[in-house]
Amino acid sequence: MKKIGFYRGCCFQGLDFILFEVIKNVLNRLGVELSEIRKTVCCGGNVIDEESRFLSVLINGRNIAAAEKENIDLLISCNTCFMVINRAKKILDKNDEIREKVNETLKEEELSYSGNSNLWHFLPFLTRKIGPNKIKKEIKRKLFVKMAPFYGCHLKYPEKAVKNGELERLMKICGGTPVSFKEADTCCGYHAIYTDRATAFKKIEKIVSSARNAGAEIIVTPCPLCFKAFDLYQAETKIKEKLPVLFLPEMVALAFGMDETESGIKYHKTPVKI
């Protein structure tokens, strides 16, 4: 497979750099060559967009243009980053006037947005671009646990970047049994942690309790921020019996037979025994 550009954003350069190593381990096993696009910057989340939609589009048009300069697609493994960058791409593809203004600014860095690079979130990249057959060939151990799928709101709404059941199908390939639960399509509360910790913790408690009551033994999420809410911050909540969580690439890494270091579970705040 030809190489693909990887957008590290803030997460995978900061606190979650271990998760980036897991992503690389999984993709290397699948024969995917990653190119780290060095010219990319923080997507701005929704913070910049709230102040200036044009500035948000400019920043993320630049991120995409950096991949286009290398003539490769862009892989994004953070739900929030994917939502924001994908929104910018849609605007640039439809609005000639905005695209011209963005490209006028990008000239200074010898960049130009053309719309030729596709954006991929990690989940559909695995299920559609790589495909189930290639993944199945690398499975070394079946996980045999009941899994609560938690897509994360920025992946399902408003961009609808994934199809219903996409995460569940990947769970089954890895040997897991998907469990439906009431709070599956809610927000994890991560973005409220910095402004209203008590409310965020109640949100985490509600989701974890819902998953456990439905019979889940573990939560699996493709979002590093949801992962952080359920791993790092669950440990600070009032939940007596903690429910472990896996970042999606970690689940695949374990099914590929990787050890606790390669799969990343060694570094969890909420211990994983699987």
Helix axes 248-255, 17-29, angle to 10 degrees: 40
Other beta carbons less than 10 A from residue 164's beta carbon: 9
pLDDT band for 111, please (50, 70, 90 cuts).
Answer: very high
pLDDT surpasses 70 at 208 = yes
- pLDDT at residue 132, rounded to an integer: 97
Q: What is the mean pLDDT of the chain?
A: 93
Mean pLDDT in residue range 226-231:
94
- pLDDT at residue 84, rounded to an integer: 95
Tokens 């819902």, residue? 210
| pLDDT per residue as tens digits for the range 123-158 | 999 999 999 999 999 999 999 999 999 999 888 876
At 4 the three-state DSSP class reads: strand
- pLDDT at residue 15, rounded to an integer: 66
Rounded Cα distance between 33 and 190, Å, is: 31
* 111 touches 66 (CB < 8 A): yes
pLDDT surpasses 90 at 247 = yes
Domains and CATH numbers, the chain: 4-122 (1.20.1050.140), 139-267 (3.40.50.11810)
Higher model confidence: residue 158 or residue 8? 8
Task: Give the global pTM.
Answer: 0.94
